[in-house]
């Protein structure tokens, strides 16, 4: 697998290694021929990491950090209990680790 990580090393996208990903200074393109273009990530604010092993079975965008291994992107220990909320139509604007 390959993942696109942002400057905080959060895994934003996940693809099979066979998918062609091309980055330039303004966009990231996916596929050859191009299937879609990602406009908010580019070579100056993200990195493509290839041959990523052991992708978590519950992977979701920004739920994990990839830095030579997977790490749960949980908030720092602030004494609160958090739960992971995936974005849905009902929870628009409320996603990621949120206090219970």
Read off the pLDDT of residues 15-29 as tens digits, 9 standing for 90 and up.
999 999 999 999 999
Residues forming beta bridges with residue 47, ordered by sequence position: 5
Q: Is residue 58 part of a domain?
A: yes
In a domain, 23, yes or no: yes
The model's pTM is: 0.75
Closest alpha carbon to 45 in 30, 29, 61, 27: 27
Coil, helix or strand at residue 89? coil
Strand order in the sheet with 11-15: 11-15, 2-6, 46-49
Q: Is 17 among the domain residues?
A: yes
Residue pLDDT, tens place only, 32-86: 999 999 998 999 999 999 999 999 998 988 889 999 999 888 766 666 666 666 6
Q: Name the residue range of residue 46's domain.
A: 2-73
99/10 Cα distance (integer angstroms)? 20
């Amino acid at each position: 697998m390959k993942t696109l990580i942002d400057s905080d090393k959060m895994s934003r996208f996940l693809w099979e290694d066979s998918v062609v990903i091309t980055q330039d200074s303004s966009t990231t393109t996916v596929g050859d021929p191009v299937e879609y273009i990602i406009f908010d990530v580019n070579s100056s604010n993200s990195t493509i990491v290839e041959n990523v092993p052991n992708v978590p079975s519950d992977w979701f965008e920004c739920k994990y950090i990839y830095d030579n291994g997977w790490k749960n992107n949980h908030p720092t220990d602030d004494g609160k209990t958090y739960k992971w909320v995936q974005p849905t139509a009902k929870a628009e604007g409320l996603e990621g680790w949120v206090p219970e």
